């Protein structure tokens, strides 16, 4: 039996298993509805109230039922937070299934093109990792856009406070006037306050969703001001000015380290590109690295040294500001 047929059979079996587990666990949504009603009416037990303080059921969708992949990878960390930071509707199950499909497609395409059997697992891993790389890229781009928008949002919030509006009205103004992602996040804070969640809990949840140090300063300043008093508008202006000055210094650092970063990219990509060129010209010459025991050791050593070199170059050019 061909490897492609085996891969397709395994994919169909896994899909059927996932569908069966999802159908079996679908009735749990009714329990979540009851928990939400108990929480809103105040008739829930104290144990559930303690659980609601860390993650309120008011901010969780009713259809958020953990599947087989969520339960499997839940021990590795809060993967749902990663999807939330990337602002995508994709779930862990969809990500895993997409990775499996791309891995099977990559293996089949490599086998059809006559790629050596030793390279097929590598192709499957690379193709299967594309969805995760896309998710990390989307998350990084969204967090970077949030950091750029934060000074303008703080200044708008400070002007709203000087105009006599409340803090909640300032969050609503930022949500309506500014684009995503900061408009969406501040709008979520405003909606959570309308649902009865305190400002402190909403800001702490915002800080958990957006791992930004400047945002942590903002949340801490607002929480302390509500407890001790003070001119919050002036504090927000100072934080916004500090963020802008730090962005200016960071731009200068990026300009000075541009040559080092470009050199690192070229040095890391050169061995891989050279391997592909030699493999295209003379496959038997490079396949010794995969068949000969000494060649395998040399290949493992080369990969290890490449990783060490990448870490060293990153340490040199990655200057914290």
**pLDDT tens for residues 158-205?**
999 999 998 999 999 999 999 989 999 999 999 998 988 888 999 999
Q: Whole-angstrom Cα distance, residue 191 to residue 89?
A: 20
Give Rg (Cα) of the chain: 26
Could you give the residue range(s) of every CATH 1.20.81 domain in the chain? 141-245
pLDDT in tens, 104-150: 998 888 888 887 777 788 888 888 899 999 999 999 999 999 999 99
pLDDT tens digits, 282-300: 888 888 888 888 988 998 8
pLDDT: which is higher, 214 or 48 = 214
pLDDT of 50 reads: 46
* Architecture of the domain made up of 141-245: Up-down Bundle (1.20)
């Amino acid at each position: 039996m061909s490897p492609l047929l085996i891969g397709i059979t395994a994919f169909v079996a896994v899909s059927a298993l996932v569908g069966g587990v999802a159908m079996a666990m679908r009735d749990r949504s009714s329990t979540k509805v009851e928990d939400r009603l108990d929480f809103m009416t105040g008739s829930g037990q104290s144990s559930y109230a303690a659980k609601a303080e860390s993650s309120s059921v008011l901010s969780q969708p009713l259809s958020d039922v953990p599947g087989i992949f969520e339960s499997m990878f839940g021990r590795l960390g809060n993967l749902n937070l990663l999807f939330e930071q990337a602002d995508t509707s994709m779930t862990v199950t969809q990500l895993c299934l997409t990775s499996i499909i791309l891995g099977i497609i990559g293996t089949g395409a490599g086998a059809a093109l006559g790629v050596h059997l030793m390279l097929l697992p590598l192709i499957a891993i690379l193709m299967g990792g594309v969805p995760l790389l896309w998710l990390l890229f989307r998350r990084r781009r969204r967090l970077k856009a949030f950091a750029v928008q934060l000074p303008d949002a703080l200044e708008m919030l400070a002007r709203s406070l000087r105009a006599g509006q409340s803090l909640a009205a300032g969050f609503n103004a930022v949500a309506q006037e500014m684009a995503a992602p900061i408009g969406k996040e501040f709008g979520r804070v405003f909606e959570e306050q309308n649902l009865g969640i305190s400002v402190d809990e909403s800001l702490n949840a915002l800080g958990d969703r957006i791992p930004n140090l400047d945002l942590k300063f903002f949340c801490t300043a607002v929480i302390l001001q509500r407890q001790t008093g003070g001119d919050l508008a002036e504090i927000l202006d100072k934080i916004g000015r500090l963020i802008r000055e730090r962005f200016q210094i960071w731009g200068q650092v990026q300009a000075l380290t541009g040559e080092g970063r470009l050199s690192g990219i070229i040095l890391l990509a050169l061995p891989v590109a050279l391997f592909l060129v030699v493999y295209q010209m003379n496959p038997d010459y490079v396949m010794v690295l995969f068949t000969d025991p000494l060649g395998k050791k040399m290949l493992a050593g080369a990969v290890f040294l490449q990783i060490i070199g990448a870490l060293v170059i990153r340490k040199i050019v990655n200057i914290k500001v």
